[in-house]
Chains A and B, each alone.
Chain A
Amino acid sequence: MENYGLFLGCNIPFKAPDIEQSFRKALPALGIGLEDLEGASCCPAWGTAPSFDKPTWCAVSGRNITLAEDRGIDLVTGCNSCYGILSEAKHFMDAHPELKKKANELLAHAGREYKGTSEIYHVSQVLHEMVGPEKIKQNIKYDLEGLKVAVQPGCHQLWPSDAYKIKEDNPYEPTQLRELAEALGASAPHYSRLSSCCGMGGMRTADVEKSLGLFAEKMRSIIEELDPDIIVTTCSSCFLQFDMSQPILQERGLIPKSVPVFYYTQLLALAMGFDPKEVAAISKTPREDIIKEIQSEKRLVKEVA
């Protein structure tokens, strides 16, 4: 089993721990071992150190990366913001020795040194590249055939592609998450705003109405073009936007209905037969009915233990 250091960030452990639980259940069952990176902190989020000073950002990110370096393993995260921030910090430090030196001067105060020996991966990349859709297909207990999924990969695993260890062939037409959804038996068609921003992040903090405006456009594209049964994302920030803002849009009459939303590993864990009370327990946009539908008798794939 290949081991990775699990970098949790802030959103997942404190707001959506059912997503964390879905990593801990589904990944080891597919041959991916997870080691806790004890004492890991915030990535740090774009609105904090990166908005003040580049070397300070790189030092705080660098400290997190050293936790994986100490163990001689690569790091995996399920938060797109963390993935973007850590990957970019690494990209800049590895390319610019003077920046790395400045970051290491700060890290020396913490008794640490960033070396650059651990890679940064996103959970979805590990599932797509290291596990692969075939193996996922072989390990599901419930088949999602007939269900239509709208995918939302999220900005910070697409751009800037030069900072990322594994990239889409064309980040404006991403296919990895579609393939992962299809591995569960579902269909995952393209829609026109597939790679559009959901409006979460700095924008939501700066101006919630502008953020909701962008999100409403995206939701209307999803509903009008696909009318999907499920929205699936591999970004915890996107997950929170889709989950907490759909009820607001519905209340204002800006969308005709809400669509149940899952982080990809939640859908995967449900398809693998794990307990929804552990892997998909927390949401504002209702999803009980679709969970029952997913884990129904008729979808049971008999030959899988």
Chain B
Amino acid sequence: MAIQLSKDKIDEAINTIIEYGGDGIQRCVQCGACSSVCPGVQAGFPVLCRLLIKKLQDGLLEDIIEEQSSWGCQNCNRCTEVCPQGVRPQEVVIAFRRYQANELAFSTSTVSAQMQLHDIGHAVFTEAGELREGVGLPGKAPTSAYNEKAQEEIQAILDNSPMAELGLF
């Protein structure tokens, strides 16, 4: 069955992607250069680069909201480097991911990373005092993890950001 393209759906998809930072989407001519160098596509996440852009250009934004390929993107920007149209495909991919994230269509396993970023300023953290002292460093790294003022600053930024509205922290 042929896909029925609807102008309203196309406009909504394109405008959403532009709003989330993927403003190059309209310049894509579907040449496929990006997909040919994409490690995500190579590893088996099919809806990245050219194909993701195609679906969005066809207005299939909501239809692919659960698509997991965007989360396999390495943000490596090989696609950005090769695109002859200056699309910055990685920006389109991550703009789509932002749409998904803001609709809470992402893995719940990432929530703890958002909470840790908010609470101590680190997405990845393990108490590493012994490990550090073992190699001759002070147990406490000079980062926000052990710095109350830094933590307050980070919270002030995140609490006033759109992320705060999602109830992640």
Contacts and interface: CB of A to CB of B under 8 A. Distances in A.
A111 B153 CA distance: 8
Interface string A209-247: 011011000000000000000000000000000000000
A17 B163 contact: no
B154 A41 contact: yes
Interface of A: 8, 10-11, 13-15, 17-18, 20-21, 24, 36-42, 44-56, 59-60, 63, 84, 106-107, 109-112, 155-156, 159-161, 171, 196-197, 199, 201-203, 205-207, 210-211, 213-214, 277-279, 281-282
A20 B72 CA distance: 29
A47 B123 contact: yes
A160 B94 contact: no
B15 interface: no
Given A17-B135, A56-B163, A279-B135, 12 more contacts: A8-B141, A14-B131, A21-B136, A39-B153, A49-B161, A53-B161, A54-B98, A155-B39, A160-B90, A201-B75, A207-B44, A214-B43
Contacts of B4: none
A14 B76 contact: no
Contacts of B166: 52
23 contacts: A8-B141, A17-B141, A39-B147, A40-B142, A40-B144, A44-B123, A48-B123, A53-B102, A106-B161, A109-B156, A109-B157, A110-B156, A155-B74, A156-B75, A156-B76, A156-B77, A197-B76, A202-B74, A207-B68, A213-B44, A214-B39, A278-B136, A279-B135
Interface of B: 20-21, 39-40, 42-45, 68, 71-78, 80-81, 88, 90, 94, 97-98, 101-102, 106-107, 109-110, 113-114, 117, 121-126, 128, 131-132, 134-137, 141-145, 147, 149-150, 152-154, 156-163, 166
B157 A107 contact: yes
Given A211-B43, A213-B44, A46 B75 contact: yes
